[in-house]
Structure 1
Amino acid sequence: MLVRHNTKLLEQAIDLQIKRSAIPTLQAEAAAHDKIARANAFRRMASGAAIAMAAIGIGVGVWLVFDRDPTVIQPEPPVAQNQPSNPNENLPKETKKSEDRTPGEETIAEEGKTDKLKSPPIEQPTPPPADPANPDTFDFVKFANRKVTYAGSTWQLESGHHFESEKNPTWDTAWCYTRRLANTGVEVQVSLVNRPSPTSTPQAPVSANETLASVGLDDNSARELASRCLWLDEASFAPGDFDMGPERKEAAAAAEELSVQDGWDAIGNDLPGMPAWNVSLEQCQAQCEADRRCLALTYDKKHSACFMKNNGSILVRSPDAVMAAKGAIKANLQYSSLVFAKDTVVVGGAYANVRSNYADCVLACAADQRCLGFNFDGPNKMCAVLDTVTSSSPFKGVVSGVKATRS
């Protein structure tokens, strides 16, 4: 009995197994075809590049041939001679013996050449690494401030010190100044001292005379104030230690020089303790020149009395007086036309009657254009100023003055 079995599934399984076994062969064939394709592509690119280079070379050659000037004679190429490439190769070679070398020196030996010394490398200083957390500070100023009392006022002195670097042991330049409300109502900066270096002579004063005068200072008082500036190097200077410069020295000398006028009296502004009795005019002048506070004086010839003054503004006629003023205030002097009489009262219209001393009474009338005369009652310390004057009469204890035309 013949039995037929269905072998379709078995055939499919065998066919699948055959295909699986053929996979590596197919992959190898695909890789081979890929390599062949890449090689062909690279060969085509190389051929194209070679053709391009050949075309460029042909073009350059054609340009050289057709562009050359036929009239120019081209130099003949040099004829090669049978000479050795190195003319010294047949000569005996010199070599430096090892025993002739200096110990410790490096040499470079070349064939056919004498060994030469090789100079040792120069060591360059390596800069210290910068610390990013603590960078250096350059070009800065440190200040030292001080409050002082001078001439009855408080002054703020500020001293600046300039440093090139924080690593420098000391400053390179320094200065001192103060700020003050000027007589114009504007605050000004008054430069007192310049120190070009820690060891050089300080220069003072620095500001112009006009600036000093606007805050009530002159060269002498400015140097007095400058001597009190505070410095980081703890330096101290006396007023005479400062350098003023030649021009300023001449101006200062002129400001200190006394100008004498006979027959005039500088009213008021007496220094404490005045007068000085039993002195000559020369002694009075010498005392004023030696005292920086003294700017003017009146010498009473009749009583040999010296009145030194810290200012001088109004001058009145007095035959028994000699007046002298320093150049610093000479331009501020005003000559009054008042004529005085003792034990005499002036009759007229009084527009003010106030308690005062004699000097202030004279100054009040001399400075007021409205005033034409005054009466000073010595026993009662009363001052009457008049804007009209009609006559005069004797009156004991009263000193009067009347403005007249200056002759």
Structure 2
Amino acid sequence: MQVRHDTSLLEKAIEQVLLRASIPTLQAQAEALEKTNKAVAIRRIATGAAIALVAIGLGLGIKFALDRDLTLASPEPQIEAQVRPDPTPQLPKVALGAQDIHAPKPGQPPSQPDIVTTNFTKFANRQVELLGRNWTVSVGHHFDNEADTSWKRAWCYTLTDVNGVEVKVELASRLTPAAQPIAPTANLATMQHAELDINDVLTLASKCPWADREFSVSDLQVPPSVKGPKPLPPVSQPRLPAPSVSQPLPQQEFVAADEFDIPGGDYRVEKEVPLELCTSLCQSEAQCRAYTYNKTARWCFLKDRVGEGQRFIGAFSGMKKTAPTAGNAAGQWR
């Protein structure tokens, strides 16, 4: 005989017991889910803020770029009070011939005048061909102020390149507009360094583009230290002074070389002396091995050693035959 019992109440009691036992677990799961949702929300907020900052940065960058382009494209304001002349303008060229250098040349645009004013000084250029080279002869006229109608002083010079070094050769100067040019104004060493003699410098000085008139070589005022614009007649051999009875001098003691220079070895310079005295001085001094005489300036360079002779127009050199390298140097001069 089977007996059936009603267990529904028991099952409900067990279900209630299990449900109560699972409450802490459900609460823990709910808290974990809430924390997860908060973390996700915070992450989304941070991501959105970062995206917003990036967008703002891009927007500011584009704005700055556009503003810069507009600034570069817009013309600068003209402020007359701050405009200053260029202290080193390009010097214009003045054509040869007797014309008013204040007026532009025929066919030349007005934007390229013949005269440029810088710090109350007007400059003018002229191209001159000499010794197979083109020389730029420049003249500067100084004014005391912009209102002056006449310049106060003027000077003329040229620039040349010597072994990669720019050498400035002062050609002439005028103290007043009524004065004739004084030329040459460069020293002898500078002229020799530029491979020019006094006659070459005087020729260039006669081509200076002065603002009022032209001057020929004969118009130039030569300083007292330079005797005459024309060279002395060429001397093939020096005339030795007559030997004295007590100290007879040997004949043909020097090897002479006209139009040659012996660079270096200068231990004394005698100025404003004749060629004969220069030869006599070297002959009478044991230290002297050779000499070079500038025929135009009349300068005597006494030398204690003999170097290699170089061609130089306007110079006369003599070398004692007793010098150690006299034979070699004499051979180079021939």
TM-score, normalized by the shorter chain, greater than 0.5: no
Give the alignment's TM-score, normalised by structure 2.
Answer: 0.39
Structure with the higher fraction of residues in strand conformation: 1
TM (norm. structure 1) is 0.32
